[in-house]
Amino acid sequence: ETRLVSCVGFTMSARGLIEQAKRLAARRAVDDHIKDGQIVGIGSGSTVVYVAQRLAERVKEEGLNVTCIPTSFQAKNLIIDNNLALSDLDVHSKIDVTIDGCDECDADLNLIKGGGGCLLQEKIVAAASDKLIIVADYTKDSVYLGEQWKKGIPLEISSIGWKVVERKLNDLSIAWGSKTGLASVRMAIKKMGPVVTDNSNFIIDFNIGDLEEELRLKLPPKEIEVQLKSIPGILETGLFVKMAKQVYFGQNDGSVKTRA
């Protein structure tokens, strides 16, 4: 965190570089994809803050007219705080473009999402969108899912029977050949109780562990998703398989790399 890196003529902390990368990715994505008159899905997380800010700038500067659909309580507040037009899925069941963040993106544009616990609404909004555009910093760019994101796959689950789901997931990871797999309900600060989502559900972080390459190749993200969705009580998974159209990764040298 304290490492100082020389960047475009001045030094910045590693955290500062990541923040700059998020901002650059968000601004580029908004400028490349958002057009006047569109219905725009607003994702959740810290990178999307810059998406809302850039949209607000364009509303002021060019009179851009967009209607925004939130993916979470946080996103709704972002829309309101940036004076953007707020609507919802009941009014607009079809969205032109959604811009969201991710926790990890693989070489095939598969994503892990839900680090912030908003994955259920995020996936519904993504599924309603003609285009899902992802904005991230360079630390999220992986060859395969789980390469860098070690916290596991976030799963939104029913609060009823959460212990059953936890047990079934642990059995599943053993069946998959994992020696270190672990499913655990996400706890709030000081472990006083579970994190409760915007939809009054719990989150399980399902860490499959580091599978040997041979086992990993037998378990592509789609197969994992199908098996997870077959467990009663799992409402949605943070695996977004082949949903993203394009991903923008802000780099630590001030450039933006895209994958489509």
Please list the active-site residues. Answer: 122
Name the DSSP letter for residue 255.
-
Q: Does 118 bind ligand 5RP (CB under 6 A)?
A: yes
> Among the candidate windows 82-90, 113-121, 199-207, 250-258, which touches ligand 5RP by CB under 6 A?
113-121
Least separation in angstroms between CB 212 and ligand 5RP: 27
Label each residue of 105-156 as H, E or C.
Answer: ECCCCCEECCCCCCHHHHHHHHHCEEEEEEEEEHHHECCCCCCCCCCCEEEE
Q: Residue number with the shortest CB distance to ligand 5RP?
A: 45
CB of 47 to ligand 5RP, least distance (A): 3
Nearer to ligand 5RP, 116 or 181 (CB): 116
Binding string to ligand 5RP for residues 120 to 149, with x set by CB under 6 A, is what?
--x---------------------------
251 binds ligand 5RP (CB under 6 A): no
Confirm or reject binding of residue 100 to ligand 5RP (CB under 6 A).
yes
Cα gap 84→68, rounded to integer Å:
7
Q: Is 70 among the residues that bind ligand 5RP (CB under 6 A)?
A: no
Is the distance from CB of 127 to CB of 94 less than 8 angstroms? Answer: no
Count CA atoms within 13 Å of residue 57 on its CB side. 10
Residue 116 binds ligand 5RP (CB under 6 A): yes
User: What backbone torsions phi and psi does residue 158 show, to the nearest 5 degrees?
Assistant: -65, 140
CB neighbour list of residue 248: distance below 8 Å, 6 or more residues apart: 25, 26, 28, 29, 133, 134, 135, 136, 256, 257, 258
- Kindly tell me which of 100 and 141 has the beta carbon lying closer to ligand 5RP: 100
Residue 85 φ then ψ, to 5°? -75, 125
Per CB under 6 A, 45 contacts ligand 5RP: yes
Q: Is residue 151 within 8 Å of residue 124, measured between CB atoms?
A: no
Q: Tell me if 43 contacts ligand 5RP by CB under 6 A.
A: yes
211 scored as a contact of ligand 5RP (CB under 6 A):
no
190 contacts: CB under 8 Å, gap ≥ 6: none
Residue 4 or 73 with smaller CB distance to ligand 5RP:
73
250 binds ligand 5RP (CB under 6 A): no
Q: Which residues bind ligand 5RP (CB under 6 A)?
A: 43-47, 100-103, 113-119, 122
